[in-house]
Each structure stands twice: as C-alpha cells, then as structure tokens.
Amino acid sequence: MDTAAAEAGHRRRWTFPSTYTILAGVTLLVWLAAFIVPPGRYDSDEQGRPIAGTYHRIEDAPGFVARLKDLFLAPVDGLYGIQDDKTGLVGPDLSGSLYGAAAVFLFVLAVGAFITVAFATGALERGIGRLAYRLRERSYLLIVGVMVTFAIAGTVEGFAEETLGFYALLVPLLLALGYDRMTAVGAIICGAGVGVLCATVDPFAIGTASAAAGIPIGDGIVLRLIMLVVLTAVTVAYVLWYARRVRNDPDRSWSGWQPGDRDAKAEDHEPDPMTRRHVAVLWLVALLFVFMIFAIIPWSEVVNGLDAKPFAWELGWSFPELTALFLFGAVLVGLVGGLGEGRLTDEIGRGFGDFVGAGFVIVLARGVTVVMNNTQITATVLHALEGIVTGTSSGVFAVAVFLVNIPLAFLIPSTSGHATLAMPIMAPLADFAQVPRSLVVTAWAAASGWANLVTPTTAVVTGGIALAKVRYDRYVRFVVPLMGMLFVLICMFVAVDAWVG
C-alpha cells in the first residue's frame, strides 16, 4: 500500500518543462498579448529608422483567422525569414537576419558534423585527456582564458551565436577537470555575454546604435572600457566561485550529472601519447576555430570606424560561409584522421542527428520575433516606454533608459534590430535630459546584453543550454545572482557618468 502511494506521488511530481515547451509557451503568450496591445507604427526616414513623435495606431489589424495562421506558421516563417506581406511592415527586419533562423540552424548542424568527425578520429578525446592532465592543478586558468577571450570577442564584434561551436569542445574538457556542465555554460554564455553587454566598438551593436543616434562610434568608449574591465572581472570571479564549489563538492552542482560525466576525470597518470594523425587533426581543429573568429570580424570598422575602406584581408563572413567552412573541415579532418569514405559519411550523418534538437530550439526562438513583427505591437510597446523616460533628471534618465530597454531586448533579441528601432526615439530625449547621446547608446547596449543573458528567445541561451544538456530553470538559478550584481553595477556606472558629465 505504501509502495503504491509512493509510486503515485512520484508520478504526480511536477517537473520543469523542456526548452521546447518554454519557447512554445512564450510564443503563445506574445500572440495572446497582441489581442490586448493595439498595433501601431512610427513613420520612418529614408534609412528606415523610426521618427520620434510620429507614432500612430493602425486600425486595419489582421483578423482572428490571419492571426491564427501567424501563430501556426511562426516557427516555419522564423526558419526561412519570411514576413507576412499583409501587415505592411515598415522599418527594419526585427529578426536581424536576411536568412531567418535557417542560417544559424544549418551552422549548428555543420558544427555537429565537424565535432563528431573530429571525435571519431580519437584525436580530440586523447588531446582533451592530455590537456586535462596537464591542467589538473591549474584548471582555473582554462576558465579564465576562455572567458576573457570570449569577452574580448564579444566587445569587439558581438561574438555570441558563434559560441555554439565551442560546447562540444569545452564541455568534455571541463568535465575531465572535475567541473560540471553548468561551469561550461557559465564560461561560454557569461564570458561572451559580458563582452556584448560592454560592447565597445562592435559595429553590429555600437556601430548601428551610434549611427542611429547620429554620433561617432567612439563616443562613450572610455565608460564602456571601464565597464568592460570591471564587469568582466566580476563575471569571471562568479563563475570561478561556482566552479570551485562544484569541484570540491559535486553534490552542489546546479546542472546535475549526466551518465558518465563523473567518470571523465583527468587521470593521475599521464595519458597515452598522440600519434602524428592525432596531432594533425588537433592542429586542423584549432586553425579552423581561429580562422572562424578572424573571418567574421569586420576589421576595418573595428580599427578605423564605420566610414573606413575595407582592408584587403577582411572577409566579412557570416553564417552561410561558416557553415560551408565546418562542412569542408569535417571532410578534411575525417580524411586526415584516416576514417575512410564509409565511416566519414556515417559520422557526418550522426553529427547532424545529434545536433538537430539544439537547432530546432533556435527555430522556435526566432518564431517569437515573427509573431511580434506580424502583429506590429513592438512600436506600441516602444511608445509606452518612451513616456517613462521623458522629463526625468539626468541620473534618473540614464538608469531609466537602461530599464526600459530591457523588455525591448526580450522582444527583439537582435541587437541591430533593437538599436535601429529604439535609438532614433531614445537618443533625442537625451538632449532634453542634458546628457550625452553616447550615454544612451551605452545604457541601451548594457540593457540588450543584460537581458540576453537569460531571455529564452535568443539562440545563444536556448541553443547553448540545449547543446550542453542543461535545463533552462537550472541555468536561470545559476545566472540570476550574477545578473543581480551586474544590474547594480550598470545602474551605478550610467548614473554616475550622467551626473559627472
């Protein structure tokens, strides 16, 4: 009797929904909100930027059947980057990409194929074992190095979705060093995220926002550099605190342990040496990731500003080129690793299958943006937030700009789309508050980066935790204390700069 009751209680126990269910619920909530929030739009200038003071309601809102179709097709439209012509959407594509989610989806599959093939050669497994052995007494250096590198890449060129390619490398390495999967998630998402939050010369975030605000990209860079140093130090210290706690007491892990996680430890004896094939494969893997970072950085914009002529060696690659790069790399690594044609093709197919779940999470996240676009409620939300920051003192204004852009960042995960929509409205208000427009850009960038550390509508978070096999609720538990510390520091920085300036 007691056993039956215990089993019934166990069956009734509530479990946190999966990432797929969370994103489906967010899509439904946004769709339902569109029945309450009236559609509207701003008039736009020649560059498609909204003009302050021109907000007006739209009377010809789509009917229920059309809205139901939008909801039904949201993930598909998000995949292909389709927008409904019936809405007459004016302004930028708020998805931030001409390719919809398809480009990121295929990029994740290509990375999966590449990593699976590399592991099949035995080179990565043996290389990770040897690196873990050598770092077994100084493993914290690996976490610090990864986070600082990602933070620099984030502040320079918005390194975010590209981090999805590193989970298959860092998760097994950190497990071998005695850490858990949350440590890898924190090092990757928070490392790159704090760099994006403190973007200095990122042309996609600061460049777009500065152009929309009518100021040079270098304005406000001193404040952003100071924030970058301080906030990165705080973020690294937080992840190290958690990592050390988990390594000392594995039962305190917030991500839990998958079967085999705690078996992949750095051995007390040195692992077997690598063959020449293994060394060649590891060099190819390292060179491919270094080349990926080099290929996506807009060097001329980073070094000389937005009006500079491109350097001859600037590639300006995006996700389609990176997808092709990883597919080519999978074939090359497989041939150098001696897999042969039959096993190589089998491993590529297996890699696609292993990573398709994480790719579909990205598709669902982009579907939320499609619903926002087609119902045209974003401008209405922006108009409501515009009234909050109007008529405040300089310090309060700076903090208010940060606060009101947080919900906008949730609705518009794309930094370029968010900047193009909000900055032409927010920047002129700075003149009345007697603060520099560059401070508005800094506060906006901080809000966008802060919100995107946790929002489920961005591929960086949902795709990353799916690849690391970490539940969203457990990641939220991990990141919320850090976000609280960053929130206080950001408010202090922008308020003090407004008062001093």
Does 253 lie in the same domain as 192? yes
Supply the angle between the helices 459-468 and 19-33 in degrees, to the nearest 10: 160
**Domain limits for position 261:** 101-500
Does 129 lie in the same domain as 91? no
% of the chain exceeding 70 in pLDDT: 76
Q: Is residue 9 part of a domain?
A: no
50 SS3 class: strand
Residues 300/311, Cβ–Cβ less than 8 Å: yes
Q: Is residue 1 part of a domain?
A: no
Averaging pLDDT over each range in 33-47, 67-81, 118-132, 172-186, which range is the top one? 172-186
What is the pLDDT at residue 243?
A: 94
Q: Is the pLDDT of residue 29 over 70?
A: yes
Bigger pLDDT: 498 or 5? 498
Structure tokens that stand for 439 in this block: 């401070």
Final residue belonging to a domain, choices 50, 67, 98: 98
Q: Is the pLDDT of residue 51 over 90?
A: no
Residues 6+ apart with CB under 8 A from 463: 104, 108, 161, 164, 358, 359, 361, 362, 365
Q: Is residue 216 part of a domain?
A: yes
Residue with tokens 């009734």: 12
Q: Is residue 69 part of a domain?
A: yes
Q: Is the pLDDT of residue 350 over 80?
A: yes
DSSP secondary structure string, 209-221?
Answer: HHHHHTS-TTTTH
Residue 416's nearest CA partner among 57, 75, 41, 161 is: 161
Structure tokens that stand for 118 in this block: 């590399």
What is the pLDDT at residue 142?
A: 84
Mean pLDDT (whole number) for 361-388: 72
258 SS3 class: coil
Final residue belonging to a domain, choices 38, 66, 98: 98
Q: Is residue 31 part of a domain?
A: yes
Regarding pTM above 0.85, the answer is no
What is the pLDDT at residue 95?
A: 37
The 10 Å CB-count burial string (b at 16+, else e) for 347-368 is bbeebbebbebbbbbbbbbbbb
Please report, for residues 140, 180, 254, 261, 426, the alpha-carbon distance to residue 251 in angstroms, rounded to integers and kept in the order given.
Answer: 20, 10, 9, 13, 47
> Residue 463: what are its φ and ψ, rounded to 5°?
-70, -40
Residue 472's nearest CA partner among 15, 30, 18 is: 18
Residues 6+ apart with CB under 8 A from 144: 236, 240
454 SS3 class: coil
pLDDT confidence tier of residue 49, bands split at 50, 70 and 90: low
Reported as half-sphere exposure (CB side, CA atoms, 13 A), residue 364 has a value of: 22
Q: Is the pLDDT of residue 477 over 90?
A: yes
What is the dihedral sign for C-alpha 459, 462, 463, 464?
Answer: positive
Bigger pLDDT: 404 or 91? 404
1 SS3 class: coil
Does 211 lie in the same domain as 246? yes
State the Cα–Cα distance between residues 279 and 336, nearest whole angstrom: 10
Q: Is the pLDDT of residue 418 over 70?
A: yes
Beta-carbon neighbour count of residue 269 at 10 Å? 6
State the Cα–Cα distance between residues 447 and 438, nearest whole angstrom: 14
Does 476 lie in the same domain as 347? yes
Residue 123 is inside which H or E element, if any? helix 123-134
pLDDT digits (tens, 9 = 90+) for 456-473: 877 789 889 988 999 999
Does 146 lie in the same domain as 68? no
Mean pLDDT (whole number) for 58-73: 77
Does 190 lie in the same domain as 86? no
Reported as half-sphere exposure (CB side, CA atoms, 13 A), residue 74 has a value of: 28
Q: Is the pLDDT of residue 84 over 50?
A: no
Amino acid type, 82: I
What is the pLDDT at residue 230?
A: 96
Mean pLDDT (the chain) is: 78
Does 396 lie in the same domain as 285? yes
Q: Is the pLDDT of residue 11 over 60?
A: no
Residues 6+ apart with CB under 8 A from 48: 90, 91, 92, 420
pLDDT digits (tens, 9 = 90+) for 200-221: 877 667 877 887 777 877 788 8
Q: Is residue 329 part of a domain?
A: yes
> Residue 40: what are its φ and ψ, rounded to 5°?
-165, 175
pLDDT confidence tier of residue 92, bands split at 50, 70 and 90: very low
Structure tokens that stand for 332 in this block: 């090359």
Q: Is the pLDDT of residue 307 over 50?
A: no
Final residue belonging to a domain, choices 75, 98, 121: 98
Q: Is the pLDDT of residue 109 over 90?
A: no
Mean pLDDT (whole number) for 325-331: 91
Q: Is residue 338 part of a domain?
A: yes
Residue 40 is inside which H or E element, if any? strand 40-41
Q: Is the pLDDT of residue 179 over 50?
A: yes
Q: Is residue 13 part of a domain?
A: no
What is the pLDDT at residue 301?
A: 54
Amino acid type, 398: A
What is the pLDDT at residue 371?
A: 78
Q: Is the pLDDT of residue 127 over 80?
A: no
End-to-end CA distance of the chain: 73
> Residue 287: what are its φ and ψ, rounded to 5°?
-65, -35
State the Cα–Cα distance between residues 336 and 111, nearest whole angstrom: 18
pLDDT digits (tens, 9 = 90+) for 442-460: 999 999 899 989 988 777 8
Q: Is the pLDDT of residue 123 over 70?
A: yes
103 SS3 class: helix
> Residue 41: what are its φ and ψ, rounded to 5°?
-160, 160
What is the pLDDT at residue 203?
A: 62
What is the pLDDT at residue 417?
A: 65
Query: Exposure of 221 by Cβ count < 10 A (0-12 exposed, 13-18 middle, 19+ buried)?
Result: middle
- What is the maximum alpha-carbon separation in the chain? 79
What is the pLDDT at residue 91?
A: 32
Provide the number of structural domains found in the chain: 2
What is the pLDDT at residue 190?
A: 94
What is the pLDDT at residue 100?
A: 55
Does 145 lie in the same domain as 23? no
What is the pLDDT at residue 15?
A: 63
Does 109 lie in the same domain as 61? no
pLDDT confidence tier of residue 308, bands split at 50, 70 and 90: very low
Does 185 lie in the same domain as 166? yes
Q: Is the pLDDT of residue 246 over 90?
A: yes
pLDDT confidence tier of residue 289, bands split at 50, 70 and 90: confident
Does 49 lie in the same domain as 67? yes
Does 127 lie in the same domain as 151? yes
Q: Is the pLDDT of residue 283 over 70?
A: yes
pLDDT confidence tier of residue 313, bands split at 50, 70 and 90: low
pLDDT digits (tens, 9 = 90+) for 227-237: 999 999 999 99
